[in-house]
């Protein structure tokens, strides 16, 4: 049994992580940290977690903690990951991994130098949806993938609990960074291919220095697939994913949803050839159990830090494109 400490016990920990840990088979949460000690202790009582800290260092130093899950705001990820590594703790970092790719490089290099396990929490790689789509594409069911699309939107314009997602100094960006990274990673995973060039357009609100409210990205993949990613903080929740090939198409409405069953359709034009229903409800549990298995040396973690770095290079290219108005090349990552 691997004992986790959650560094940054906020909305995400309450809504997603703790329900995931409750379903996990080989790990549990024994510690948490929040900036306010009273809130930390209240959360610990609510979720029956033995240890509560108001210091990231105390949590990372605690001998009862085997691994650290970083769930702090994006601007904190670099220092928090380096702190966990310094205390010799395997560390699983939330997405997006960093504010920009150089921070990812520093994390990956520090973990490599210390021989410490570093993973990125791209939870949708642990879904049945993405696993089925990846297997069907690899089996040639749609033929050569010609184009793909992934969308992710949710209403976050007014009164969203994560108020920091609108602050570029803390979030690093708007929906491109927050949920666009999910779309990018899902496409890379399903297609088993890398993005080489990005063209992006974004729209902004009326408040100066705010992050983008929505965006459209065109991703050019190394093997020739062209993909679009649409993200927004303005529209209702939706996460469709579609892959179109020379022979057929695969479609899943709300593919990246973890709360209800998903129907995957294999289509030939308007005709549905085959329909399969899957469930993603165990994605968060599978993620932490997979990391626990890696901590115990039983298996490699399927989303190592280098994957977060690759995603960040795509995000950085997207933001460069928004500023330049041109397509931008995706920079290569170093060895992980």
| CATH code of the domain covering residue 186 | 3.30.360.10
**Domain shared by 267 and 153, yes or no:** yes
Report yes or no on 308 lying in a domain: no
Say what the pTM is.
Answer: 0.96
Q: Which of 11, 38, 24 is nearest to 3 (CA)?
A: 24
Residues in the chain: 336
The pLDDT assigned to 336 comes to 44
**Whole domain around residue 185: which residue ranges?**
126-280+313-329
| Residue 222: C-alpha distances to residues 122, 145, 146, 226, 307 (Å) | 22, 12, 12, 9, 16
Residues 185 and 318 reside in one and the same domain: yes
Cα→Cα distances 35→9, 52, 66, 220, Å: 9, 11, 21, 42
* Residue 258 sits in the same domain as residue 324: yes
- Give the CATH number, domain containing residue 46: 3.40.50.720
Query: Tens digits of per-residue pLDDT, 166-222?
Result: 889 999 999 999 999 999 999 999 999 999 999 999 998 776 568 999 999 999 999
Q: Does 197 map to a domain?
A: yes
Residues 138 and 81 in one domain: no
Bond preceding residue 96 cis, omega within 30 of 0: yes
Are 92 and 26 members of one domain? yes
Do 23 and 169 have their domain in common? no
For 261-309, how does the pLDDT look when each residue is reduced to its tens digit (9 = 90+)?
999 999 998 899 999 999 999 999 999 999 999 999 999 999 999 999 9
Q: What is the mean pLDDT of the chain?
A: 95
Do both 35 and 111 map to the same domain?
A: yes
Per-residue pLDDT at 205: 73
Number of domains in the chain: 2
Domain shared by 322 and 190, yes or no:
yes
Residues 272 and 288 in one domain: no
Sign of torsion, CA 127 261 8 157? positive
Are 186 and 321 found together in one domain? Answer: yes
Residues 196 and 108 placed together within one structural domain of the fold: no
Sign of CA dihedral 99, 105, 106, 108: positive
Are 235 and 93 within one domain? Answer: no
Residue 46 lies in a domain: yes
């Amino acid at each position: 049994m691997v004992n986790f400490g959650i560094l940054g016990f906020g909305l995400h920990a309450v809504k997603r992580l703790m329900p995931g840990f409750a379903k996990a088979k080989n790990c549990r949460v024994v510690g948490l940290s929040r900036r306010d000690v009273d809130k930390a202790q209240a959360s610990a009582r609510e979720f029956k977690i033995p240890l509560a800290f108001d210091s990231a260092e105390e949590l990372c130093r605690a001998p009862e903690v085997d691994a650290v899950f970083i769930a702090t705001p994006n601007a904190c990820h670099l220092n928090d990951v380096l702190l966990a590594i310094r205390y010799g703790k395997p560390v699983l970092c939330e997405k997006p991994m960093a504010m920009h790719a150089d921070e990812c490089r520093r994390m990956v290099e520090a973990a490599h130098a210390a021989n410490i396990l570093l993973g990125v929490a791209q939870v949708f790689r642990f879904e049945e949806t993405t696993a089925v789509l990846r297997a069907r594409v690899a089996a040639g069911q749609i033929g050569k993938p010609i184009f793909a699309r992934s969308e992710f939107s949710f209403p976050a314009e007014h009164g969203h609990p994560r108020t920091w997602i609108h602050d570029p100094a803390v979030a690093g960006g708007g929906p491109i960074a927050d949920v666009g990274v999910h779309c990018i990673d899902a496409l890379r995973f399903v297609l088993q291919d890398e993005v080489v060039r990005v063209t992006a357009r974004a729209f902004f609100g009326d408040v100066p220095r705010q992050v983008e409210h929505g965006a459209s990205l065109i991703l050019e993949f190394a093997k020739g697939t062209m993909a679009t990613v649409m993200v927004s903080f303005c529209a209702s929740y939706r996460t469709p994913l579609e892959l179109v090939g020379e022979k057929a198409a695969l479609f899943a409405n709300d593919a990246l949803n973890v709360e209800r069953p998903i129907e995957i359709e294999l289509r030939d034009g308007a005709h549905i050839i085959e329909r399969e229903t899957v469930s993603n409800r165990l994605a968060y549990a599978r993620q932490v159990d997979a990391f626990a298995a890696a901590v115990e040396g039983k298996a490699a973690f399927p989303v190592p830090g280098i994957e977060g770095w690759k995603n960040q290079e795509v995000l950085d290219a997207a933001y460069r494109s928004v500023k330049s108005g041109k397509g931008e090349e995706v920079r290569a990552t170093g060895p992980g």
